[in-house]
Amino acid sequence: MNSERTTTFIMMPEADLLQIRYLLQEILTAINATAAKMSNCSIEPEYIPAAAFMKAVNIKRTKFYELITGNKIRTLKKRRKVYVLASEVSRYFNDPAFQ
């Protein structure tokens, strides 16, 4: 690897340089506006993986499958993965049927 640094100078009219600066400023403004929109937008997941549900309510797999077979929680199975409605976490703690 060559450790020498070389400097290249390019001559251009000042008007072109100002136009490039203006365009870069517009791009930066658009990026910041998009980032602000994305930070205000919070998307809550409708379904969470089974492992996340079990961890959130502090149960093991056996109890999880008991809840499924007893129709106490609503789940969705996609291929080999099981997903639980995210609202089921709060329902697990607030519904007396789980006691």
Specify the residue for token string 């969470």: 48
What values do phi and psi take at 43, rounded to 5? -100, 115
Q: Are residues 52 and 88 in the same domain?
A: yes
pTM for the predicted model, two decimal places: 0.54
DSSP 26-67: HHHHHHHHHHHHHHH--PPPSEEEHHHHHHHHT--HHHHHHH
The pLDDT tens digits for 37-83 are 777 666 677 899 999 999 999 999 999 999 999 888 989 999 999 99
Please report, as a single letter, which amino acid is at residue 32: N
Q: Is residue 65 part of a domain?
A: yes
pLDDT at 45: 72
Q: Looking at the structure, do residues 52 and 39 belong to the same domain, yes or no? A: no
Domain assignment present for residue 63? The answer is yes
Percent residues over pLDDT 90 in the chain: 47
